[in-house]
């Protein structure tokens, strides 16, 4: 994706969140200059991967398989000093293009799925084997 498409996707997501009265942490609204000046805070944000993620999950078809994600909270399964292995993410999908997410799972992390925007949420769940498959 081009940087202009990523920027537009984030702006569209911010508009949707605002329309649903959802406020993000302050770093969601930082300018590039603020990012450059945040020093040690940047290391912590990067270490646990907080912030924006605009992705097509390798599909090369963002309008169909992709989304705009904002990670508010994230732990690290291998480092107890950065919290529990739990992620809190907002996932914004484009209803106009029937955007979907690919199947995935976590061997260790815990996830809660909460539909805040009023769209239709469809999930297919599978039991895992003892080996985590």
pLDDT at 83 over 70: no
Kindly report the pTM of this predicted structure: 0.83
Question: How is the chain split into domains, by residue range?
Answer: 1-133
Report the helix count and the strand count for the chain, using DSSP H and E: 3, 3
Third-level CATH fold of 1-133:
Jelly Rolls (2.60.120)
Residue 75 has pLDDT above 80, yes or no: no
Residue 18: pLDDT band by 50, 70, 90 thresholds?
very high
- 100/118 Cα distance (integer angstroms): 16
SS (H, E, C) 79-128: EHHHCCCEEEEEEECCCCCCCECCCCCCCCCECCCCCCCCCCCCCCCCCC
């Amino acid at each position: 994706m081009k940087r202009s498409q990523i920027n537009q996707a984030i702006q569209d997501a911010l508009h949707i969140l605002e329309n649903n009265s959802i406020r993000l942490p302050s770093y969601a609204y930082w300018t590039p200059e603020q990012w450059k000046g945040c020093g040690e805070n940047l290391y912590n944000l990067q270490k646990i991967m907080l912030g924006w993620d605009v992705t097509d999950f390798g599909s090369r078809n963002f309008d169909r398989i992709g989304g705009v994600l904002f990670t508010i909270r994230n732990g690290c399964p291998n480092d107890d000093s950065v919290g529990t292995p739990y992620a809190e993410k907002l996932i914004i999908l484009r209803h106009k293009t029937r955007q979907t997410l690919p199947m995935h799972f976590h061997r260790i992390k815990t996830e809660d799925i909460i539909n805040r925007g009023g769209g239709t949420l469809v999930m297919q769940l599978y039991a895992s084997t003892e080996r985590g498959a």
